[in-house]
Each structure stands twice: as structure tokens, then as C-alpha cells.
Structure 1
Amino acid sequence: MKHLSAQEIRQKIRDGEWTKPTAGLAQNNAQANLVILPKELAYDFLLFCQRNPKPCPLLEVTDVGSPIPYLTAPDADLRTDLPKYRIYEYGELIAEVTDITQYWRDDLVSFLIGCSFTFEQALLTNNLPVRHIQEGKNVPMYKTNISCQNAGVFHGNLVVSMRPFQPRDAIRAAQITSRFPSVHGAPVHMGNPKLIGIDNLDEVDFGEAVTLKENEIPVFWACGVTPQAVAMQSKPPFMITHAPGHMFITDQKDESYSIL
């Protein structure tokens, strides 16, 4: 799978041949988080993204009723081309599915949000190993005590993803990822997780825990799963998202989102 093109991987996902997390797939192609909402809530969520660009950097917003992301992958279908989706009603997770065709409605608007998987290739290119890829796991994600800026009906706290590094490598990782503001950019925190409300790194809210080796520090980036935590608090009547770690793979190259 690693050596297939983005289009080929999306086809395998559409055919049900890949239902696992997408970290490490289609290297050099940008990946995206997905949020789908009824039109009546779309403006509030657009405003939420504008006010919270670290966790919710927008890559594309689709036309009402269209599942086609014309800017980032015009031959794709957002109803079928992610490995796994989550369906929420009034903040409750009611289903996790591999195809949302049966849930699709003509009033839905899709938001593609930058994903930190995009900058991981830059880390690997600079000889900075990414632990969850090494261990074949989904990236660990945690709810924090950091409040997002409210917008309309949407409110809640930031979710972060974590990657461990030796201290000097953590600084280098911050420098590298700062070049990618469209996919979360530089870390929001390094070191003691309790300072941002995380009591135990082994107890993840999303994804899977990874090994923290001796003399390593945890490094935390804003995460596109934040809208799912926000949905649980804001309780919109209907919302579809990607399942954490199961991203949409675009046709856009990672470097197209780099500022240097």
C-alpha cells in the first residue's frame, strides 16, 4: 500500500480492501480530517475553524449536497473514500461505518481539515522517527484543558496528538512542523502533559498509546479530532466525521502546504 498512488489507495478503500488507519500511506500526499454537517450548521462551523486555525486548518469546503472535493481530489467521493467514519447524533456516537452513502443527504456540507499525518513525511525525511508508524499503531490523541474559541453552537476543548522525541529532536521537530501551518503547524506543548490536563499518557482518548522511551519527552500538536470532542460537548443534531486516524488522502502534495 505504501507505494501506491493516492488514487489507487482511495480505490482500495472504496472497494473495502483497506479499513485501517492511513498513517504512512501515500507518502508525500497530504491527508485530511473530515467533518460533515447540515447546511444550517455550516456557517457556525466555518466560523469555528476560522477562530481555531491550529486544530481546524481548512483545506476545502464542498458545495452543499456534493460529496466531491473538487479542489483537493476531484475524482474522489467523500462518502466512500475514507477507511472508517463516525456518525454522531446530539453528541452521541451512534455508528462507526466504512461507507456513509446511506447517511448522505442533499443538505450536507463537507469540511476537509489539515492533518498532522501530512508533516510526518517531513519528519521522516529529516531522520526523526515517528513512533506510532514504527510500532504500527494509530497516533495517540488526548483531550486537553485548553479551551477553543466558541463559535455559534460549537464549543469545547482542544484535542492533541502526541509524538515522543529526545529533547534536541523535539526542537528540530518543532522547527520542521512550523513550516506546515495548514496542517496544524508547530507543537502547542512539550513536556509535562499534566500542564494541559493529561494525567496519564497510557490512557488515550483516541488512537493507541505508544512507547515513551528513557529521556524522551512527549510533544503535542493540535489535532483535527478536536471537532469530534466539540461535537460531544456541543451536541449538534447530526454530524459525520472520519474515525480518528482514518483520514482522507488527497491528490495534493505535502509540500504544497509548506510555507518554505
Structure 2
Amino acid sequence: MPISRIAIGSPQEATQAGALKAALAEFISTLIFVYAGQGSGIAFGKLSVDGVTTPVGLVAAAIAHAFALFVAVSVGANISGGHVNPAVTFGAFLGGNITLLRGVLYIIAQLLGSSVACLLLRFTTGLGTGTFGLVAGVSVWSGLVMEIVMTFGLVYTVYATAVDPKKGDIGTIAPIAIGFIVGANILVGGAFTGASMNPAIAFGPALVSWSWTSHWVYWVGPLIGGGIAGIVYDLFFINSTHEQLPSTDY
């Protein structure tokens, strides 16, 4: 059971050079991701009237976030694993792949990276960042379930392409697969919840704009979805043994 492998970690872990370097990598990767993702929305809105709420704006947001996450995961993968998302970190913790203390360090770095990115966007563009919120007609429970499902798909993809020790050559395309699932989920949920799937990218804009309406949805939904994905994949696939078929059978 993955739950049996959950580890708290030692207090000294938070001061080790490797852990601090990993946290710095998470900070930088999250800053890159949020600056590009949020910045694309600001730019699109500046170039068009209500452009971000149109179908073209939704596609532009999906593409920008997919590209930015591909890069953010790639540059952090060899240092911290390229989580760039508290939900991914939480899923990794429940799957027994990261200690609690190291996970907390990652999440703090991710929140700081998102906040600094939004502050830099406000300074460099003179415009406010868009905050995540439920669209009119979408209940908090519908939004919560949508965030759970989308984040489950994201973290499940992370496990399948980056965490699974049997991943083989598919590990080389993990960053692009992760970027693709985020882009696809934005096309699904962008018109309803904004398709956060990531408490950090919801936290930065909310902090800078000081707008916290339904903000809890963007924490509870992704953490539940990421946690379920981590447990399910680790329990049913990573721990399952299988024998390779003889060459004559395929």
C-alpha cells in the first residue's frame, strides 16, 4: 500500500543543500510557468476586446499554458522533479514518493514563485492579473468536481510518464505529455472554472489582486484529485508485478 510508505522526513532535510536547491528550482519553474500563462492572458486581453472570454482566447490560453508547462517541467525535472504544482507534490507524497517536509518546502516555493510572477506582471505591464473564479451558473460543487477530475488526469499523467519506474523511453516525453493534458483540460474547463488544476497558479493572482471568492475550490479540488491519482496509480500499477510475454506471443 502506498499509504504505508508515507514519510514525514527529518527536520534537517529542510536545511540540506539538495532540498534547498530543489525548492529553488520549483520557485523558478513556477515563476516561468505563471508569468507566461498569466502574461498570455493579459496580452490577449490588451490586443482584443473581451478577447480572453472568447473561444479564440480559450484556445490561446490552452496553448500558452501547455507550452509554458512543458518548459517549466523540463527545466526542473533533473533537480526537483519539476512538480510546479502543489497538487502534484501532494499526490507524490501520498504515493510515498516524497517526504512531508520536503513537500511542504516545495509548496512554499511554488506559492512564492506564483506570487512573484504576478507581481512582476503587474509591474511590467501595468495591468492586473486575471483571478480564477467560477463562471456564472456554475455551482461551487460542480466547479469542485471539475477541478478534481481535471487534476486527477494531470497527476495520473505525471505518474504514468515521470514517476513510474517502468516508464522506459516514455519518460523522455513526460514534460510534453504533462503540458498537453493541461492544455486539453483548459479547453474543457476553462469556460467553467478557469481550469486551474494547480493551487499555486490560483494563489498568486488571488494574493496580488486580493480576490478570494471561491478560492477554496482551487485548493480542495486539485488536492483531492491529485491525491486520488497518486494513490490509485501507485496502488494498482507501480506495485503490481507482471511477467513479460515470451517473444513468440507478440
Give TM class, smaller chain: under 0.3
TM-score by length of 1: 0.27
Higher strand share: 1
Higher helix share: 2
TM-score by length of 2: 0.28
